[in-house]
Amino acid sequence: MSAVQKDLIFTHLSFIHALRLQLRGNSDEIEWNEKVYRALKEETLKEIRDKSNKATQLLIQQGMKLDECLKNGFINEIIYINLENTLTRLTDHQGKSERIKHTPLPKAYEIFNRILLGLFIFFLPFSLLPIFNQMGELWLVFPLTILISWVFFGIHKMGLLMANPFENFRWDVPLDAICNTIEIDLLEAINADSIPEKLKPDEDGILM
């Protein structure tokens, strides 16, 4: 395995971790140093460190490294074109993820839903009264109203939370596990000395 190939692989690993940290709004310097900066060459690190979107810059750096590989005869034009197309697709997917991250639901949508939910909960017991009055079980109106209201409020709240799938909640996209799988596969491909263990679900079956 040549130094050029290893450099490309480590640059790509830095990209996936940079994108993960950016999507989660994680600015922890220790984690950035450990997962993004540590494996990069000094000249690559200088190019990205002060940039606002480091994931994009790392994709650009990968493209430049591929240009150098083509010029030096390390790869042929067919491989170069295929790899460039892969970088283009990665750029598209990154853009889609960032639009999900930075495009919130319209505030009017949330307010309108909340008003309708409030009206539904307010009038629900009045609609249940005639039914349980005929049954002679009026006491059931209160617990049933609470139960139904809780279900609909939970659906409303879950919808708002799932509109932000990168916030590292238990039901969000398991970015840690995805990056961990990619990292293991690539490091095994170059027979690296240190390979991280595969992340496993917690006791509730949740992957982060």
pLDDT of residue 139: 85
Report how far apart, in Å, the C-alpha atoms of 164 and of each of 2, 19, 159, 175 are: 41, 15, 9, 13
pLDDT of residue 61: 95
Mean pLDDT across 166-172: 79
pLDDT of residue 44: 92
Contact 166/175 with Cβ under 8 angstroms?
Answer: yes
pLDDT of residue 43: 92
pLDDT of residue 149: 92
Give yes or no for residue 58 having a pLDDT over 70: yes
Q: Quote the mean pLDDT of the chain.
A: 89
Mean pLDDT across 168-183: 88
pLDDT of residue 90: 95
pLDDT of residue 35: 93
Report how far apart, in Å, the C-alpha atoms of 71 and of each of 66, 74, 76, 208 are: 9, 8, 9, 41
Mean pLDDT across 15-35: 94
pLDDT of residue 95: 94
Give yes or no for residue 1 having a pLDDT over 70: no
Other C-beta atoms closer than 10 Å to the C-beta of 64 total 13
User: pTM for the complete prediction?
Assistant: 0.81
By CB atoms closer than 10 A (0-12, 13-18, 19+), residue 58 is: buried
31-45, 82-96, 131-145, 152-166: which has the minimum mean pLDDT?
Answer: 152-166
Q: Which residue has tokens 């309108």? A: 112
| Six token digits for residue 183 | 């990292």
10-19, 29-38, 52-61, 125-134: which has the minimum mean pLDDT?
Answer: 125-134
Mean pLDDT across 7-29: 94
